[in-house]
Amino acid sequence: MRRREFIMLLGGVAAARSVAVKAQQPDRMRSVGVLMVFPEDDPEGQARAKAFQTKFQDLGWAVGRNVRIDYRWVTDLDRIREVAAELVRLMPDVILAYGNQPMAALRRETRSIPIVFVQVTNPDGGGLVASLAHPGGNITGFSQFVFAIGGKWLDTLKEIAPDIRRVAVILNPDNPTASGYLGAIEAMAPSLGVQVMPTAGRDPADIERLIEIFSHGSGGGVIVLPDIIANLNRKLFIALAAKHHLPAIYPARFFVTNGGLLSYGVDQINESRRAATYVDRILKGEKPADLPVQAPTKFELVVNLKTANALGLSVPPTLLTRADEVIE
């Protein structure tokens, strides 16, 4: 090959590479909206936001340079639809939403803006997507639990507190996923010799009154179902369990780091990182309809030995061996 032809060939390759790189880079500032049901200064909410943003940065996005992220923090459940509408009016390229209630509000507001969800239970049964493998619309994401985990919660609670005979299942009656978890718990209960008592509370006053009533009997334990109300009132749940000497199991690690007895659930920080990959793919041209809903990949069992000692419980060695984290 002649020198001139060789130089022209190299020039063509370089030009092709330049076009390919430009094709992968946005020619305008992109925008992402995030709807989070935590106070803005809540350490757990901030940890999830940081995990998402760090992974997002690893994928080539820099806030202020090629992407803008608009966070909306909600603590008043009556305002979720209002805040969802506000976020939609910003017309972001993608919205990231945490939880069933925020997702339901966003779905009412838009059928065109791509949405990636995290912490959503039963997305296909709840009508958010056509199917897990082929979502088919503007929504996809990362599901939280299958309902069968309810049996695991009861079994684990009985393992750490073998004397329990009654279990109050704390649920939000307005959360449509509660019945699925409750059914799994009730199915497991006879084999463990436990009576299940559904306990519906919508606000702190309800929760305090119901646990007070439940605590009058002996052999009691508590299962707190995953819900926004539980997240926002976790310190109250933990304080009431301690006050009434009730062993309790929670759906996420941050309950136990705040003083709860034990938890078994999805690693929510890991889910935030995974969500960043879907937001990235959508910004680069893929459609939510073609991105399958992903199941959880990382569960964690967390035990608080200090709380166990305060309750007079001896944690079985088998439980300690299985624990992903033991807080002393």
- Per-residue pLDDT in tens (0 to 9) along the chain, 328 residues: 444 444 444 444 444 443 343 344 446 899 999 999 999 999 999 999 999 999 999 999 999 999 999 999 998 888 999 999 999 999 999 999 999 989 999 999 999 999 999 999 999 888 899 999 999 999 999 998 889 999 999 999 999 999 999 999 999 998 889 999 999 999 999 999 999 999 998 889 989 999 999 999 899 999 999 998 899 999 999 999 999 999 999 999 999 999 999 999 999 999 999 999 999 999 999 999 999 999 998 999 999 999 999 999 999 999 999 999 999 9
Residue-number span of the structural domain to which 48 is assigned: 9-144+268-298
Q: What is the pLDDT of residues 77-123, one digit of tens each?
A: 889 999 999 999 999 999 999 999 899 999 999 999 999 999 999 99
Can you give the pLDDT at residue 3? Answer: 45
Distance CA 114, CA 104 (A): 14
Distance CA 70, CA 89 (A): 12
Tell the residue number behind the tokens 């809540």, with chain if given: 42
Asked if residue 3 belongs to a domain, the reply is no
Asked if residue 107 belongs to a domain, the reply is yes
Residues 6+ apart with CB under 8 A from 32: 67, 68, 69, 70, 92, 93, 94, 95, 96, 279, 283
Nearest to 232 by CA among 84, 103, 74, 71: 74
Residues 113 and 223 in one domain: no
Asked if residue 182 belongs to a domain, the reply is yes
Q: What is the pLDDT of residues 159-208, one digit of tens each?
A: 999 999 999 999 999 888 999 999 999 999 999 999 999 999 888 998 99
Asked if residue 2 belongs to a domain, the reply is no
CA separation (Å) from 92 to 7, 56, 112, 222? 44, 16, 11, 41
Residues 278 and 135 in one domain: yes
Residues 127 and 193 in one domain: no
Domain count of the chain?
2
What CATH number has the domain bearing residue 277? 3.40.50.2300
